[in-house]
Structure formats: structure tokens, C-alpha cells
């Protein structure tokens, strides 16, 4: 489920600290070592990067969310997919893999733990150092060695160092977990219920503006606790990947829900005004 055009919160600007530059290099035979950040370039000056591509489609959310997350102080190596989208814990992501080096990665993953890192990248803001693990839950290998995958978002991570860049990116990552809110008296359940209420209003009004029959919106929380619910809400902001990335990077459930509440409230105000104009001028 994706919400209509969103009006991001006033705090939606992102300050990425790119670990590497996603811009493709001129030739795989003559790579440019300057795509690495200075910190990583010093330790990997002899390694080279080749351009790549990955075909993907939008994500949807799974009804369950993992509870057996690794400890936040664990540091592990993880293969990475830079993509122009944001994967959230619990979300479902279909992928089609066709480039040779990523097919190599798939062959390796299917023989090991089926997990890789999805990390947001675009030409404007570069590549973030915070992403989400995608676990392969279903796959199909075609006769031409392409792969169709269904992946589920698991725990979040932060890239701490780049291990290698070919045949595909591998990084050392540290797991991220939400910390207790600075305000110990914050009622997360009440905040989550407010966000759900705004979501229902946005969906209802969006349906009305789109000429769809007005129906009672289903239960959106589906018994999710506040933290996984905040990830579910973020996963519906599909038209605003930078805002999604900002939500993914937050390590405070209350702060994430508050930001989502502000975005939904701004969106609802916009839709309310659009609805009023449509009532006055039905032909517009």
C-alpha cells in the first residue's frame, strides 16, 4: 500500500554521509578510484569498482516483523545492493537480478544465509550509510540465469567500512536498534494510534478525490507494536524516498512516529483543501 503524494515534515532534509559515490564510472576496464570517500580510499586504493544495475519494484509490508534481531554491537560483513528505494524492516521487496556480478552474488547467497544489504542511493544525495537487510524468502532461477526474488526486510545496519568493491560491494556493518525515547513518559501506543488515525483520514480523502467509493478503512496496525508499525508507516511513503531514508535512520520510535504524524497531517491538510476546491468547482 502506498499513500498519495505526501507533504513531508519540516524536518525532512537529510544530511547523508556517503560511504561511496554511486555515480557509474566510465568503463569497467578503467575504473575511477575517486568514487570512494577519502576515509575508505586510503584503505582500498588498490580496489576497483565496476558499474552495475538492478531492476526492482516497489515494496509492500509483511504482517509479521522479526523479533530475534542481532545485538547492536555486532560487526559483520554484508554484500550490498545500492538501490533508488528504501527497504524497511518487515517490508516485502520483489527484485529481478540480471547483471552478471549480481547473479554471482545470488549464487553465493543461495548457498549461505540468503541475506544482503539494501542501501538507498540516488544521483543527488549519493549513497547513504544506513540500510536494511533483505532476506531472500522466495526465488526463481530462469534458464538464462536471471533470478526473480522475493525479499523481506530484516534488521537495519550502518556501514562502518568498505571491505571490497568487486565483483560486488561488501561492507562491514553494525546493527542499529531503536533506543529508549529521551522522554521516558512518551506514550508510544497513543502516538501510534494517532498516526493510524491520520493514515485512515488520508486514505479516505484520497479515495474520495480519486472518485473511488468511500469505505471504512481497514485496521492498519494489525496488532503491530509501535516500532514495527512505525516502519510500516514509513514503507507507505513510497513517493518520497529521501523522507523514507530519514525515517529509517532515526533510532527513536517516538521521534519516527512524530515525524510521520507531521507528514500525514500536512498531507491531510493539502487533501482537505483540494477536496474543498473540488466541491466548489466540480469540473476542476
- For the segment(s) 33-176, the CATH number from 1.20.120.1200, 3.30.70.20, 3.40.50.2000, 2.30.130.40 is 2.30.130.40
Q: Find the farthest-apart pair of alpha carbons in the chain and give their distance in angstroms, rounded.
A: 66
* pLDDT score of 5: 58
DSSP string, 5-26: S----TT-------SB--SPPS
Banded model confidence at residue 267, pLDDT cuts 50, 70, 90: very high
Measure the CA–CA gap between 150 and 192, rounded to whole angstroms: 28
Is the predicted pLDDT of residue 28 greater than 70, yes or no? Answer: no
49 vs 91: CA distance, rounded Å: 29
What's the pTM?
A: 0.76
With 90 as the cut, is the pLDDT of residue 63 above it? no
- CA–CA dist 114, 270 (Å, integer): 42
Per-residue confidence at 159, pLDDT binned at 50, 70, 90? very high
Q: 95-143, pLDDT tens digit by residue?
A: 988 888 888 888 899 888 899 999 999 998 888 999 999 999 999 988 8
**Separation CA 33–CA 31 (nearest Å):** 6
Query: Per mean pLDDT, which range of 1-10, 82-91, 160-169 is the poorest?
Result: 1-10
Looking at the chain, the whole-number percentage of residues with pLDDT higher than 90 is: 46
Alpha helices in the chain (DSSP H): 38-43, 100-109, 188-209, 226-235, 241-249, 253-280
Rounded (10°) CA dihedral 180, 68, 94, 205:
-40
pLDDT exceeds 50 at position 195: yes
Q: Quick one: CA torsion of 244, 245, 246, 249, rounded to 10 degrees?
A: 120
What pLDDT does 255 receive?
A: 96
pLDDT at 60 over 90: no
Best CA proximity match to 157, nearest among 141, 172, 135: 172
Q: Which residue has the cell 521521534?
A: 255
For residue 247, say if its preceding peptide bond is cis, omega within 30 degrees of 0.
no
Nearest in space to 106 (alpha carbons), one of 82, 140, 60, 130: 140
Distance CA 20, CA 37 (A): 6
**16 confidence band (pLDDT: 50, 70, 90):** very low
CATH 2.30.130.40-classified regions of the chain: 33-176
Can you tell me the distance from the alpha carbon of 199 to that of 4, in angstroms, rounded to the nearest whole number?
A: 11
Q: What is the pLDDT of residue 33?
A: 29
Q: Which of 44-58, 235-249, 255-269 has the lowest mean pLDDT?
A: 44-58
Amino acid at each position: 500500500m502506498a499513500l498519495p503524494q505526501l507533504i513531508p515534515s519540516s524536518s525532512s532534509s537529510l544530511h547523508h554521509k556517503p560511504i561511496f559515490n554511486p555515480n557509474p564510472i566510465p568503463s569497467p576496464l578503467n575504473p575511477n578510484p575517486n568514487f570512494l570517500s577519502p576515509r575508505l580510499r586510503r584503505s582500498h586504493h588498490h580496489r576497483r569498482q565496476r558499474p552495475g544495475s538492478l531492476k526492482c519494484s516497489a515494496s509492500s509490508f509483511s504482517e509479521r516483523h522479526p523479533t530475534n534481531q542481532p545485538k547492536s554491537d555486532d560487526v559483520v560483513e554484508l554484500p550490498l545492493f545500492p538501490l533508488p528505494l528504501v527497504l524497511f524492516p518487515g517490508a516485502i521487496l520483489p527484485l529481478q537480478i540480471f547483471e552478471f556480478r549480481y547473479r554471482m552474488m545470488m549464487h553465493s547467497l543461495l548457498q549461505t544465509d540468503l541475506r544482503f544489504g539494501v542501501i538507498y542511493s540516488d544521483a543527488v544525495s549519493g549513497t547513504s550509510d544506513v540500510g536494511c537487510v533483505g532476506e531472500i524468502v522466495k526465488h526463481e532461477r530462469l534458464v538464462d540465469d536471471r533470478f526473480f526474488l522475493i525479499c523481506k526486510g530484516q534488521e537495519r545496519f550502518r556501514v562502518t567500512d568498505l571491505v571490497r568493491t568487486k565483483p560486488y560491494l561488501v561492507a562491514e556493518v553494525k546493527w542499529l536498534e531503536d533506543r529508549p525515547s529521551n522522554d521516558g513518559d512518551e506514550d508510544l501506543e497513543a502516538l501510534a494510534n494517532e498516526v493510524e488515525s491520520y493514515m485512515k483520514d488520508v486514505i479516505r480523502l484520497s479515495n474520495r478525490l480519486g472518485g473511488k467509493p468511500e469505505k471504512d478503512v481497514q485496521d492498519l496496525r494489525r496488532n503491530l507494536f509501535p516500532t514495527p508499525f512505525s516502519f510500516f508507516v514509513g514503507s507507505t511513503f513510497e513517493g518520497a524516498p529521501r523522507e523514507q531514508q530519514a525515517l529509517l535512520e532515526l533510532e527513536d520510535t517516538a521521534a519516527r512516529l512524530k515525524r510521520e504524524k507531521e507528514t500525514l497531517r500536512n498531507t491531510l491538510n493539502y487533501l482537505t483543501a483540494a477536496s474543498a476546491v473540488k466541491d466548489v468547482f466540480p469540473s476542476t
